[in-house]
């Protein structure tokens, strides 16, 4: 059994390593074709995100090329796609609109620097505090956003677009049952393009989205004064960009970890994202982060597992728009919409909304998931949704744990001592009403509070114990607190009697 497990682990490691892929024609072919599919899907996305940011389409395309190629070497999560994204475009769009292109590029570069700093500070370790319910909400919200992003291509278009999208979806559903040698999305794109060209079907194409560049990206040094005023102008946007980009990238990396049953270095990913954004800005790009849709195309639809697919996605993107721009321009948007619809369906966690799952799941967990989805969909900001979800999870957890603290009173046989046994976790939510659990007037002159079955977590609990002691002293009664574990005793010893207004 162990031999089979070792063989399986060796095969999985071989599939995800660059050297293993280069030695295997089968794996290498899979990686190359996956990169080509992703490159085709990146083109309309990069153009549309450039429009959102208020810059030339070339800015988004060059950014996607630079970031995909650089993250292939610098990133911590193999097979994850990083490029220009809508989340980053929305955050920094006001800079281009109000201050111009030079300030816009300076914002991208400084945003990358902030990400490098956050990476060095270990921000990736905060991922452990994101609950599963928030993660499920994040995934489901992304699936909804991917689908809704396709609606502009399905509204007010020639009726022939709809059967073309249906055919594309049909190809991607049926083809994997026949063969997985060639990615189904690539076959769908090629067949629909050939059909529209040979049959002269007039439908919106990639070329209609914006002009494709005809030259390679060049070094771009923003012409902005290196003053505190410049920093004050762009700093809020750079910090927002850094936080949104890292959060989306680390969440996507965790999702890919789950899909591929493998781990990744989140700190290296944080540093890689920062470096990729700096490089993107230096070549006139708009910056970005991990792309959930294209990553799912790469990992789920195409089966890619190595950095080769990420690297080739960037290389193919540049070749397609600069060298083969005239051919790419005739690809119908219907083909790419079909691909993204299937990505949306595949990304959504359908198990999470089954009636059987909802019946078993605690109500609080479901509410956290729904809150995360709702906020992301309404704001179109993944960072805000995840933060709201985490806060909601913390509140629900605190309320749940607060009820675990109990107080039991017993009276000694001689009636001279009241003995209180406190059980449970004592922190701000559970200790605030601790003072109401004691009979100050009715207890005898000696009171013992036993904390051997509890733990003191914060200053609120120490303040509550001080208040209990003070109330008994006002009744000329003596209080003895016993049974504290070492950590609780240290905190109580450090803070007891020092939390009043006069200290």
Mark whether 440 and 301 lie in a shared domain: no
Same domain, 337 and 440: no
Do residues 341 and 416 share a domain? no
Model pLDDT, residue 434: 84
How far is it, in rounded angstroms, from Cα 477 to Cα 472? 5
**Residue 442: inside a domain, yes or no?**
yes
Per-residue pLDDT averaged across 431-448, rounded?
87
Map residue 127 onto helix, strand or coil: helix
Bridge partners for 82 per DSSP: 290
CATH number at residue 450: 3.30.750.24
pLDDT tens string 402-413: 677 788 999 988
Whether 109 and 256 map to the same domain: the answer is yes
Backbone angles phi and psi of 221, in degrees to 5: -105, 115
CB 314 within 8 A of CB 66: yes
- Residue 443 domain-assigned (yes or no): yes
- The 3-state secondary structure of 453-486 reads EEEECCHHHHHHHHHHHHHHHHCCCEEEEECCCH
433 and 404 in contact (C-beta within 8 Å)? no
| Domain co-membership, 340 together with 417 | no
Structure tokens at 301: 């639809």
pLDDT, tens digit, for every residue of 177-220? 887 777 788 889 889 999 999 999 999 988 887 777 778 888 88
Average model confidence (pLDDT) across the chain: 87
CB 50, CB 59: distance < 8 Å: yes
Residue 162 included in any domain: yes
pLDDT tier, 342 (very low <50, low <70, confident <90, very high otherwise): confident
432 is written with which tokens? Answer: 């605030």
State the average pLDDT over residues 89-104.
Answer: 89
Examine the domain organization and report whether 340 and 451 are in the same domain. no
430's CB contacts (< 8 A; 6+ apart) are 401, 402, 403, 404, 405, 424
Q: Which of 149, 477, 198, 502 is nearest to 333 (CA)?
A: 149
Task: Flag whether pLDDT at 81 surpasses 50.
Answer: yes
Domain boundary among 316, 348, 380: 348
Please count the other Cβ atoms lying within 10 Å of the Cβ belonging to residue 155.
8
Q: Residue 500 is encoded by which pair of tokens?
A: 């009043």
Map tokens 């762009």 to a residue.
Answer: 234
What are 21's two structure tokens?
A: 């892929």
CA–CA distance, 109 with 115 (Å, rounded to integer): 10
pLDDT band at 502 (very low <50, low <70, confident <90, very high): very low
Are residues 104 and 236 located together in one domain of the fold? yes
Question: Higher pLDDT residue, 84 or 180?
Answer: 84
Rounded alpha-carbon distances, angstroms, from residue 129 to 329, 389, 394: 45, 11, 10
| Six token digits for residue 502 | 């006069």
Domain assignment present for 387: no
- 94 & 226 share domain: yes
* Residue 303, SS3 per DSSP: coil
Please indicate, yes or no, whether residues 219 and 299 belong to a single structural domain of this protein: yes
Straight-line distance from the first to the last Cα atom of the chain, in angstroms, rounded to the nearest whole number: 65
In a domain, 1, yes or no: no
| Residue 13: Cβ within 10 Å count | 12
Closest CA to 81 of 320, 313, 338, 348: 313
Same-domain pairing of 142 and 216: yes
Domain-located, residue 7: no
* Separation between Cα atoms, residue 418 and residue 449, nearest integer Å: 9
Q: How confident is the model over 456-500, as pLDDT tens digits?
A: 989 989 999 999 999 999 998 999 999 999 999 998 988 887 766
Look at residues 348, 364, 381 and tell me which one is the last residue of a structural domain: 348
If asked whether residues 436 and 314 sit together in one domain, one would say: no
* Choice among 6-20, 41-55, 121-135 with the minimum mean pLDDT: 6-20
Q: Note the Cα 313 to chain centre separation in Å.
A: 21
Among residues 348, 374, 396, the one where a domain terminates is: 348
The answer to whether residue 295 scores a pLDDT higher than 60 is: yes
339 and 474 share a domain?
A: no
pLDDT at position 7, please? 45
Burial group, residue 347, by CB count within 10 angstroms (0-12, 13-18, 19+)? buried
**Euclidean distance between CA atoms 323 and 319, whole angstroms:** 5
Domain count, the chain: 2
3-state secondary structure of 200: coil
Q: Is residue 361 part of a domain?
A: no
Residue 353: inside a domain: no
What region does 309 belong to: left with phi over 0, alpha with psi -120 to 50, or beta?
A: alpha
Q: What is the CA radius of gyration of the chain?
A: 29
Report the candidate in 220, 302, 296, 270 with the shortest Cα–Cα distance to residue 56.
Answer: 220
Q: How far apart, in Å, are the Cα atoms of 199 and each of 165, 191, 196, 202? A: 16, 12, 5, 9
**What is the domain range of residue 417?**
406-495
């Amino acid at each position: 059994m162990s031999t089979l497990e070792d063989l399986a682990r060796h095969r999985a490691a071989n599939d995800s390593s660059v050297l293993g892929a280069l030695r295997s024609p089968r794996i290498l072919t899979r990686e190359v074709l996956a990169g080509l599919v992703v490159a085709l899907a990146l083109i309309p996305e990069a153009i549309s995100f450039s429009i959102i940011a208020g810059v030339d389409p070339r800015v988004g395309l060059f950014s996607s090329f630079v970031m995909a190629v650089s993250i292939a070497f610098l990133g911590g999560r193999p097979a994850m796609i990083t490029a220009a994204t809508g989340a980053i475009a929305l955050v920094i769009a006001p800079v281009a609109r109000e201050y111009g292109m030079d300030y816009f590029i300076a914002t991208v570069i400084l945003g990358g620097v902030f990400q490098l700093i956050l990476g060095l500070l270990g921000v990736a370790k905060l991922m452990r505090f994101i609950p599963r319910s928030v993660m499920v909400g994040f995934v489901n919200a992304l699936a909804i956003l991917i689908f809704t992003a396709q609606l502009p291509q399905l509204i007010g278009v020639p009726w022939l677009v709809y059967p073309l999208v249906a055919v594309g979806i049909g190809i991607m559903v049926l083809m994997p049952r026949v063969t997985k040698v060639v990615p189904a999305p690539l076959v769908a794109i090629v067949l629909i393009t050939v059909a529209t060209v040979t049959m002269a079907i007039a439908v919106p194409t990639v070329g209609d989205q914006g002009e494709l560049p005809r030259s390679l990206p060049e070094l771009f040094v923003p012409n902005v004064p290196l003053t505190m005023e410049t920093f004050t102008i762009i700093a809020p946007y750079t910090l927002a960009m850094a936080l949104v980009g890292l959060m989306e990238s680390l969440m996507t990396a965790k999702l890919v970890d789950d899909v591929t049953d493998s781990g990744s270095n989140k700190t290296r990913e944080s540093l890689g994202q920062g470096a990729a954004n700096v490089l993107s800005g230096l070549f006139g790009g708009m910056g970005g982060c991990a792309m959930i849709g294209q990553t799912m195309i790469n990992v789920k639809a195409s089966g890619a597992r190595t950095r080769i697919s990420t690297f080739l996605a960037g290389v193919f993107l540049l070749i397609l728009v600069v060298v083969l721009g005239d051919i790419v321009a005739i690809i119908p948007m219907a083909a790419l919409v079909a691909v993204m619809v299937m990505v949306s369906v595949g990304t959504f966690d359908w198990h999470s909304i089954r009636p059987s799952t909802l019946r078993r799941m605690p109500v609080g967990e479901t509410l956290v998931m729904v809150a995360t989805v709702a906020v992301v969909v309404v704001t179109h900001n993944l960072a805000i949704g995840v933060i709201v979800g985490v806060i909601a999870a913390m509140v629900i957890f605190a309320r749940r744990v607060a009820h675990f603290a109990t107080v039991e009173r017993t009276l000694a046989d001689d009636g001279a001592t009241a003995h209180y046994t406190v059980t449970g976790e004592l922190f701000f939510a559970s200790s605030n009403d601790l003072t109401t659990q004691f009979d100050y007037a009715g207890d005898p002159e000696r009171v013992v509070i036993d904390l051997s079955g509890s733990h003191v977590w914060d200053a609120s609990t120490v303040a509550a114990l001080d208040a209990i002691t003070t109330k008994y002293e006002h009744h000329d009664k003596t209080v003895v607190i016993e049974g504290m574990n070492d950590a609780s005793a240290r905190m109580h010893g450090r803070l007891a009697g020092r939390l009043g207004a006069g200290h």
